[in-house]
Amino acid sequence: MKGSVIYGPRDVRFEELDFPKIIKPTDAVINISATCVCGSDLWPFRGINPITQPTPMGHEYCGIVEEVGSAVTRVKRGQFVIGSFFASDNTCPTCRIGYQSSCQHRELMGGAQAPFLRVPHADGTLVATPEVPPDDMVPSLLTLSDVMGTGWFAAEAAHVQPGKTIVVVGDGAVGLLGVLSAKQMGAERIIAMSRHASRQKLAREFGATDIVTQRGDEGVARIKEMTNGLGADSVLECVGTQESMMQAIHSTRPGGYIGYVGVPHGVELNGQELFFAHVHLHGGPAPVRRYLPDLIGLVLKGKINPGKVFDLTLPLDQVAEGYRAMDERRAIKTLLRP
């Protein structure tokens, strides 16, 4: 089979790979129905994360179970399943408190931009839908593997509640799905920070009540103006740079909450500044496994349609163009079909 492999900055190739096999009895192999390019895939693509060797890419996936190991009992051949970007056993103490992305036996997924994928800890990682879903639901179900669950975690970590004022920093797919999540959680006012027309439009469709185009200190000043000088109750930080993190902190009211899910790159927080900002901070790799059952339900009932973030669909063999389109911000998120 052929899948995507990154060799260096801006060098993603579609090339021959070994067919995945069951290695441990707790593994499964799935036949990928759809995969996609993650915002975090752009870090190595842009040369910001080092690439030490050719690396199979992709960690967002859903598909049909092809084969299971001898110890797998909950997942069966032929089921449609979705799993997190971190495989987790779902039984260790960390999983049991709902932080499966810090599972004591977690394994970071890779190689999902391919026709088939080995999934470790299959019983813990994968959640099956009641039946094989219609094809038009596959994009929305795919988002639950990472991007939608990450937006949901951002909103939950930012303590979004009915009646509150929310700011979302970052208009990538995670930020946009943070808007959708905040709306689902009953936020009254959702301010999306965005200067791209197509993203503003989708933000409004997902529930944003206001758009702010300014960034940095100007963006903060605008948020303060809109909130009686106080700042927002909750801010979702969905980028991961020093500027976006400081913008999030400064846009939050004293006693307010920041949920940060953009993997920090070069971010350093000054202790005293954070102290006097008086904010709550929570974030990290989203425990999307925890949310899978509920979010699958919302998608299947048609309550949410997070698949709208895919504004470019390509056959898998054009994966390199999928990266380029996102890198150049021509696409919000690229769906890939094997």
Nearer to a copy of itself, 240 or 338 (CB): 240
Task: For residue 104, report the phi and psi dihedrals to the nearest 5 degrees.
Answer: -65, -15
- Look at the alpha carbons of 262, 193, 225, 188 in this order and tell me if their dihedral is positive or negative: negative
Query: If binding is defined by CB under 8 A, does position 165 make contact with a copy of itself?
Result: no
Give the DSSP H/E element, type plus range, for residue 148.
helix 147-157
Using only C-alpha atoms, the chain has a radius of gyration, in whole angstroms, of 19
Q: What are phi and psi of 240, to 5 degrees?
A: 110, 15
Q: Contact region for a copy of itself (CB under 8 A) — 35-43, 72-80, 170-178, 269-277? A: 269-277
Contact between 195 and 165 under an 8 Å Cβ cutoff? The reply is: no
Based on the shown chain and the rule CB under 8 A, indicate whether residue 35 belongs to the binding site for a copy of itself. Answer: no
We find the least distance from the C-beta atom of residue 138 to a copy of itself, in angstroms, to be 30
Nearer Cβ to a copy of itself, position 178 or 338?
Answer: 178
Please identify which residue in 190, 220, 279, 336 interacts with a copy of itself, judged by CB under 8 A.
279
270 counts as binding a copy of itself under rule CB under 8 A: yes
Beta bridge mates, 61: 35
Report if residue 162 touches a copy of itself, rule: CB under 8 A.
no
Length of the chain: 338
Contact in structure between 72 and 27 (CB atoms under 8 Å): yes
Contact range with a copy of itself by CB under 8 A, out of 26-34, 98-106, 308-316, 318-326: 98-106
Enter the DSSP assignment of 301: T
Tokens matching residue 169: 């920093």
Positive or negative torsion for Cα 7, 8, 11, 12: positive
Q: CB of 182 within 8 A of CB of 192?
A: no
CB environment 102-117: b (16+ within 10 A), e (fewer): bbebbeebebbbbbbb
Binding window for a copy of itself (CB under 8 A); candidates: 36-44, 99-107, 192-200, 316-324: 99-107
- 42 is a contact residue toward a copy of itself (CB under 8 A): no
Q: Considering only the stretches 175-183, 215-223, 280-288, 318-326, report the one whose residues sit in contact with a copy of itself under the rule CB under 8 A.
A: 280-288
97 lies in the binding site for a copy of itself (CB under 8 A): yes
Strand 126-128, strand 252-260: pairing: unpaired
- Closer to a copy of itself by Cβ: residue 102 or 305: 102
What is the size of the binding site for a copy of itself (CB under 8 A)?
Answer: 40
Of residues 222-241, which lie at the interface with a copy of itself (CB under 8 A)?
228-230, 240
Minimal distance, residue 206 CB to a copy of itself, in Å? 25
**Closest CB 128 distance from a copy of itself, rounded Å:** 26
Please report whether residue 152 would count as binding a copy of itself according to CB under 8 A: no
Residue 50 interacting with a copy of itself (CB under 8 A): no
Whole-angstrom distance, CA of residue 259 vs CA of residue 157: 5
DSSP annotation of 230 reads: S
Q: Is residue 46 a contact residue for a copy of itself (CB under 8 A)? A: no
Residues that bind a copy of itself (CB under 8 A): 93-94, 97-99, 101-102, 104, 228-230, 240, 242, 245, 253-255, 260, 263-272, 274-285
